[in-house]
Amino acid sequence: MSLLTNSIGRLRLISILEACSFLYLLFCSIYLKRMLGDAEAIRTPGMIHGILFCIYCVTLYQAMGTAKWSITKAFLIFLTSLIPIVPFFIEGWLKREQVRAKGTPAT
């Protein structure tokens, strides 16, 4: 099943991209900015992460409508994006939700 076939698949993709950008931003802010003293080290990664986070929020809203998730469930999914490695753990759950919405087995 392709990640781009429905809104939950797109949410899975952007969730992983956003989580990776968050981890990279943390690396840049801790190592490059604080330890090496490069104040400009977080400018570009911060902008990329901000754009991906906005796309994540829009995609979550679309998936919420498609899957008919409650506001509570959508809010909990949103909260997972605020903790750096948690989106990797909910990937399996989102994959099962995508299968339920599509009605085909997961690949």
pLDDT at site 21: 95
Can you read off the two tokens belonging to residue 87?
């989106």
Can you read off the two tokens belonging to residue 65?
């409508």
Answer for the pair 96, 106: CB distance below 8 angstroms, yes or no: yes
pLDDT band at 100; cut points 50, 70, 90: confident
pLDDT tens, 38-94?
878 888 899 999 999 999 999 999 999 999 999 999 999 999 999 989 999 999 999
pTM comes to: 0.85
pLDDT at site 37: 81
Where are the domains positioned within the chain? 7-102
In whole angstroms, what is the distance from residue 72 CA to residue 41 CA? 36
